[in-house]
C-alpha cells in the first residue's frame, strides 16, 4: 500500500538563486551581449571577425547616436519652453524669420503646444463644460488602472462596471443626454426583449422541439441585451440639466479615445462570437459569420468610413439623422470585429481536440466548455495577436480625419494652420507631440500584454 504520510512532500518550488557575479549585473550583460563576440583574437579568422564587429559597432553607434542626439537636441536642449511675453510666433522664430532667436536655430516650440493643449485634448468642446470631459477621463483612467492592477479588491466588478455602466455614464456626460427617444421605440425594445426571454424560457422547457433548444442561450442573450438597451434608452432620454454638446464639437484626444475604446471594447466580444460562429457546426451561423468576416476584411477602413458618411445617408429615409461620429463608430466596430474574429479563430484552431473532448466528457455544455475551457486557453495563446489588433485599431482611428472628424492627429493638423504661431518649428512640434501621445498609449498596451502573457502562462508551461 502507498502510505498517506506526506510529511516529506516539498510544498514550495525552491526559489531561483542569483547567477554568479561574472554573469550578473551590468558588466555581465555588457560582456555577454557586446564584447564576447568581438574580443576573440585566438586565430586569424576569429580576429578578423572581431575587428569587423568592432568597426560595425562603431559605425552603427555613430549613426544611431547622431540621430538620437539630434532628436533630443530638437525636443529638449534647443527647444523653447516658455513664452512669457506672449510673442506667439515671435518666440519660436529666428532673427531672419522675424523673431528673436539666433539665426540657424532649430528646436521644438513647446509654448505653441501649451497654447493649443485644450484643442488637442478636448477639441472644440465648450470651455465651461470641460469638467464633464475631465470627469469622464478621470473615471476612465482610474477605472482601467484599478481593473488592471493585480491584487486590487473586486477588480473584476470594477472591470464589469467599466464595460457596462461606464459607457453609458460617459455618453450621458459627454453629450448631455436628454435625447428625444420616442415611446414607440422604447416600447418596441421592451417588447422585443420580453419576447426573446419568453422564447428562451419556452425552449428551455423543450416546448419548441429539440433542435431549437440549442438556441436557448442565444434567445436569453438577445433578450437581456435588448432589455439593457431599453434601460440605456430610458436613462438617455432623461433631462439631467446638462447642456447638449454636439459631437461635431468633440475633438482631439477625446475623439481618438472614444473611437479607439469603442472599437477595442466591442471588437473582442463580437470577434469571439464571429469566430465561434465560423467554426460552428450550424451551417447558417457558419455562412453568416464567414460572409461577414470576409466582407469587412475585404474593404479598406477608409472605404468603410467614406461609405458610412457618404453612402449610408443615401439609403436612410429622409429626416433620419444619423450622427456622423456614431456612424464612424459602427464602421470601426464592425471592421475591427472581423479582424479580431480571425485572430480568435487562430487561437481556437490551435486548441487540441482533446480539450473539447475532455470538456464534453465531464458533461459541460457547448457554451460552458467554450467559456470555461476553450476560450481562456485560446485567448491566452493569441494575446499578442489581440493586442496587435488593438494597437492597429488605435492608430487607425486617425483615419476618421477624412470624414471630417477631428481626432488627435486631425486636431494637431488644424492647429498648424494657425498663422499666429506660424514658424518652421510649428509642424514638427505638433507631429512630435502627437507621436509621443500615440506611443504612450500603444506602448502601454504592449507592455501590459507582455505582463499578462507572463502571468497567464505561469501556471501551465
Partner 1 sequence: MTKEEEKEIDQSKMTISEEVVIKVEQMNKWFGHFHVLRDINLTVNKGERIVICGPSGSGKSTLIRCINRLEEHQKGLIEVNGVELNDDVKKIDKIRSEVGMVFQSFNLFPHLSALENCSLAPIWVRKMPKKEADDLAMKYLEIVKIPEQALKYPGQLSGGQQQRVAIARALCMEPKIMLFDEPTSALDPEMIKEVLDTMIDLAQGGMTMLVVTHEMGFARKVANRVIFMDEGQIVEQNNPNDFFNNPQSDRTKLFLSQILDH
- Give residues with Cβ within 8 angstroms of 204, minimum separation 6: 213, 216
Please give the angle made by the CA atoms of 397, 403 and 404, to the nearest 5 degrees.
95
Which residue intervals of 18-43 are DSSP H helices?
Answer: 25-30
Stretch that binds partner 1, among 116-124, 157-165, 323-331, 374-382 (CB under 8 A): 374-382
Q: By CB under 8 A, tell whether 4 contacts partner 1.
A: yes
Closest distance between partner 1 and the C-beta of residue 373, in Å?
5
Q: By CB under 8 A, tell whether 368 contacts partner 1.
A: yes
DSSP codes joined into one string, 86-144? --GGGGGSBTTTTSSBPTT----BHHHHHHTHHHHHHBT--GGGHHHHHHHHHHHHHHH
Which one among 126, 164, 357, 439 touches partner 1, defined by CB under 8 A?
357
CA distances from 27 to 41, 51, 365 (A): 21, 21, 57
C-alpha cell belonging to residue 99: 523673431
Q: By CB under 8 A, tell whether 280 contacts partner 1.
A: no
User: Which DSSP symbol is given to 308?
Assistant: I
Query: Three-state SS for 252?
Result: strand
Burial string for 133-142 (b: 16+ CB within 10 Å, else e) reads beebbebbee
Q: By CB under 8 A, tell whether 283 contacts partner 1.
A: no
Which one among 139, 280, 377, 388 touches partner 1, defined by CB under 8 A?
377
Q: By CB under 8 A, tell whether 291 contacts partner 1.
A: no
User: Which DSSP symbol is given to 78?
Assistant: S
Q: Using CB under 8 A, which residues numbered 220 to 239 contact partner 1?
A: none
Shorter beta-carbon distance to partner 1: residue 316 or 362: 362
Closest distance between partner 1 and the C-beta of residue 278, in Å?
20
Stretch that binds partner 1, among 168-176, 179-187, 263-271, 365-373 (CB under 8 A): 365-373
Residue 238 CA from chain centroid, whole number: 31
Q: By CB under 8 A, tell whether 388 contacts partner 1.
A: no
Q: By CB under 8 A, tell whether 365 contacts partner 1.
A: yes
- Site size toward partner 1, by CB under 8 A: 32
Compute and round to an integer the Cα radius of gyration of the chain.
29
Which one among 68, 372, 402, 440 touches partner 1, defined by CB under 8 A?
372
Q: By CB under 8 A, tell whether 376 contacts partner 1.
A: yes
Per-residue binding string, partner 1, 7-26, x by CB under 8 A, is: --x-----------------
Site residues for partner 1 per CB under 8 A: 1-2, 4, 6, 9, 206, 210-211, 213-214, 354-355, 357-366, 368, 372-373, 376-377, 380, 456, 459-461
Amino acid at each position: 500500500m502507498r502510505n498517506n504520510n506526506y510529511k516529506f512532500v516539498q510544498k514550495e518550488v525552491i526559489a531561483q538563486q542569483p547567477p554568479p557575479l561574472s554573469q550578473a549585473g551590468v558588466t555581465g550583460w555588457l560582456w555577454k551581449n557586446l564584447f564576447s563576440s568581438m574580443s576573440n583574437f585566438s586565430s586569424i579568422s576569429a580576429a578578423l571577425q572581431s575587428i569587423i564587429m568592432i568597426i560595425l559597432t562603431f559605425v552603427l553607434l555613430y549613426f544611431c547616436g547622431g540621430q538620437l542626439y539630434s532628436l533630443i537636441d530638437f525636443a529638449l536642449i534647443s527647444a523653447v519652453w516658455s513664452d512669457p511675453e506672449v510673442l506667439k510666433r515671435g518666440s519660436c522664430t529666428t532673427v531672419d524669420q522675424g523673431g528673436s532667436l539666433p539665426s540657424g536655430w532649430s528646436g521644438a516650440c513647446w509654448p505653441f503646444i501649451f497654447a493649443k493643449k485644450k484643442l488637442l485634448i478636448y477639441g472644440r468642446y465648450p470651455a465651461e463644460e470641460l469638467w464633464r470631459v475631465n470627469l469622464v477621463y478621470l473615471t476612465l483612467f482610474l477605472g482601467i488602472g484599478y481593473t488592471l492592477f493585480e491584487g486590487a479588491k473586486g477588480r473584476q466588478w470594477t472591470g464589469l462596471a467599466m464595460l457596462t455602466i461606464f459607457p453609458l455614464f460617459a455618453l450621458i456626460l459627454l453629450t448631455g443626454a436628454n435625447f428625444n427617444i420616442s415611446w414607440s421605440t422604447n416600447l418596441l425594445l421592451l417588447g422585443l426583449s420580453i419576447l426573446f426571454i419568453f422564447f428562451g424560457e419556452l425552449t428551455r422547457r423543450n416546448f419548441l422541439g429539440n433542435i431549437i433548444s440549442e438556441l436557448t442561450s442565444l434567445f436569453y442573450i438577445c433578450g437581456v441585451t435588448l432589455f439593457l438597451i431599453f434601460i440605456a434608452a430610458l436613462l438617455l432620454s432623461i433631462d439631467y440639466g446638462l447642456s447638449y454638446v454636439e459631437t461635431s464639437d468633440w475633438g482631439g484626444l477625446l475623439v481618438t479615445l472614444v473611437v479607439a475604446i469603442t472599437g477595442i471594447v466591442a471588437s473582442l466580444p463580437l470577434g469571439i462570437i464571429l469566430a465561434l460562429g465560423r467554426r460552428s457546426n450550424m451551417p447558417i451561423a457558419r455562412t453568416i459569420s464567414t460572409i461577414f468576416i470576409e466582407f469587412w476584411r475585404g474593404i479598406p477602413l477608409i472605404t468603410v468610413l467614406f461609405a458610412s458618411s457618404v453612402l449610408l445617408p443615401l439609403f436612410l429615409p429622409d429626416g433620419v439623422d444619423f450622427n456622423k461620429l456614431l456612424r464612424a463608430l459602427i464602421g470601426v466596430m464592425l471592421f475591427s470585429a472581423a479582424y479580431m474574429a480571425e485572430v480568435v479563430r487562430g487561437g481556437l484552431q490551435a486548441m487540441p481536440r482533446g480539450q473539447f473532448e475532455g470538456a464534453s466528457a465531464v458533461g459541460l455544455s457547448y457554451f460552458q466548455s467554450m467559456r470555461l475551457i476553450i476560450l481562456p486557453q485560446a485567448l491566452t495563446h493569441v494575446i499578442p495577436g489581440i493586442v496587435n489588433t488593438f494597437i492597429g485599431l488605435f492608430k487607425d482611428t486617425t483615419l476618421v480625419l477624412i470624414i471630417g472628424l477631428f481626432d488627435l492627429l486631425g486636431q494637431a493638423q488644424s492647429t498648424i494652420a494657425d498663422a499666429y504661431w506660424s514658424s518652421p518649428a510649428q509642424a514638427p512640434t505638433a507631429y512630435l507631440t502627437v507621436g509621443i501621445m500615440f506611443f504612450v498609449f500603444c506602448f502601454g498596451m504592449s507592455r501590459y500584454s507582455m505582463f499578462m502573457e507572463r502571468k497567464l502562462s505561469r501556471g501551465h508551461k
